[in-house]
Structure 1
Amino acid sequence: MSATRATDTVFAVAPAPVWRLLWLWVPMLAVAALIVATTLQSAQRTPHELGLTLPFLAVLTAVLSAAYFRRRIQLQGRDLEVGSTFYRKRVAVDALQLDQARVVDLAEHGSLKPVIKTNGYGMPGFLSGHYRMRDRRKAFCLLTDASRVLYLPLRDGSVLMLSPEKPRDLLAALQALAAPGRTH
């Protein structure tokens, strides 16, 4: 048990600016203003309806804002665990194709960009959760900085796309962890 604890390592996620939350807050404020305006102008609606709707919107906005800050990349024993917003992915290091892993800039490698959100949380410059790549492969993403993305293909054909603060350090740690288990 202590051998597993000795290999637990947390890798910092590349920071994502707080101003990106404007992509959440501005639409929520617009919805709240629209609800207030239509409720006050309608004879069929009562202002009491606002007593349920506006607090619900406030709580929803608070939960989505708090989720934005939930990001973690950690090596636990021989597993890579990624937590992001409402999503979590745990992958055995042996399931990674580290010989094909690389650090990429998505502006230069547009073919590697996740394009279809299947079950995720996203806004411009921030992707979290499950996506599809251009070539239809599944991808689990924690992307906060598209200029330094660690692209990790898995043996099952899917992909992990991560934005650690130091992607080369994470890749080196994964390669070092996989080295003793290699049979080649």
Structure 2
Amino acid sequence: MNDAVKEFAVAPLGKSARVFLAFFTLVMPLMILVAMAAFPEFRPPPVGFALAGLVIVSVAGLLLAVSTRRSIRIDGEVLEIRATFYSRRLALSSIDVDATRIVDLREHPENRPLLKTNGYAVPGLAAGNFRDRGRNKLFCLVTAPRVLRMPLNDGSLVLASPAHPERLLDAIRKRTGRAEQGPGLPRRNERPR
């Protein structure tokens, strides 16, 4: 692997997201097809039945495929986050590294994505553009409660769920020349608040 490119594993989807996706990609399409076959008043002609089945299976497959498109990587001086239908490329210099923290969303619900502005959300997965309780703009790839909260210089935030948030934070700090800090700790000459 090139020294300029570093991949970070994304935290796996939780049980609620897996159950939700399984229901909507497997169980629900089968229920619709069985209902269409069982009730004559809803039964389309054979071509319509086949077309409906194809559309249902295609949409279910698309949802399943898109939910697996998740990645986090640093390529040179750029942080790339791919979250289902959405991608974001950030210059590392646009991240307020000193304010970047590892946050548990269960303990700090004010940081959770609340209002979906252009995103994809199922229980246990938030991807794309959201607003939090403070109406801050968020770009999210949230698959676990423990996230890296990265404020940007433009006032917006990025929430990402790497499997090991401290490793991503350390890599960002190294690439931006702030490697001496520990994860989520104040700088050496700064007093804790």
The interval holding the TM-score normalised by the smaller chain is 0.7 to 0.9
Query: Given the superposition, is the C-alpha separation of residues 124 and 152 from structure 1 closer, same or farther in structure 2, using an over 3 Å criterion?
Result: same
TM-score (normalised: structure 2): 0.81
Out of 1, 5, 9, the residue aligned to residue 8 of structure 1 is 5
Q: Does 1:21 align with 2:18?
A: yes
Distance 1:75 1:21 in 2: 27
AA paired with 2:118? Answer: N
2:62 aligns to what? 63
User: Residue 141 of structure 2 contacts residue 161 of structure 2 at CA under 8 Å; is this kept in 1?
Assistant: yes
- 1:122 is aligned to 121
Would you say the 8 A contact 2:43–2:49 is kept in 1? Answer: no
- Could you list the structure 1 runs, at least 4 aligned residues long, displaced by more than 3 angstroms after superposition: 27-32
Shift of 1:10: 0.6
- Amino acid in structure 1 at the alignment position of 2:108: H
Which string of whole-angstrom CA distances, capped at 9 and with x for unpartnered residues, describes residues 94-151 of structure 1? 11111111001001101101101122222111111111111111111111111x2100
Mapped to 2, the partners of 1:106 and 1:178 lie a distance apart of 26
Count of aligned pairs = 175
The two structures have a TM-score, normalised by structure 1, of 0.85
Query: Which residue is equivalent to 2:80?
Result: 81
Distance 2:41 2:71 in 1: 47
- CA positional deviation for 1:34: 3.9
Give per-residue Cα distances to partners, 1:68-118, cap 9 Å, x unaligned. 111111001101000121111000011111111100100110110110112
| Amino acid corresponding to residue 122 of structure 1 in structure 2 | A
Q: How does 1:1-184 map to 2 (within 5 A)?
A: 5-17=2-14, 20-27=17-24, 29-30=27-28, 33-34=31-32, 36-37=34-35, 40-42=39-41, 45-146=44-145, 148-179=146-177
Q: Deviations along 1:144-170, whole A, 9 cap, x unmatched?
A: 111x21000111111110011111111
Structure 1 unaligned blocks of 5 or more: none
Whether the 8 Å contact between 2:36 and 2:43 is mirrored in structure 1 is no
Where does structure 2 lack aligned partners over 5 or more consecutive residues?
Answer: 179-193
Partner of 2:187: none
Instruction: Give % identity.
Output: 35
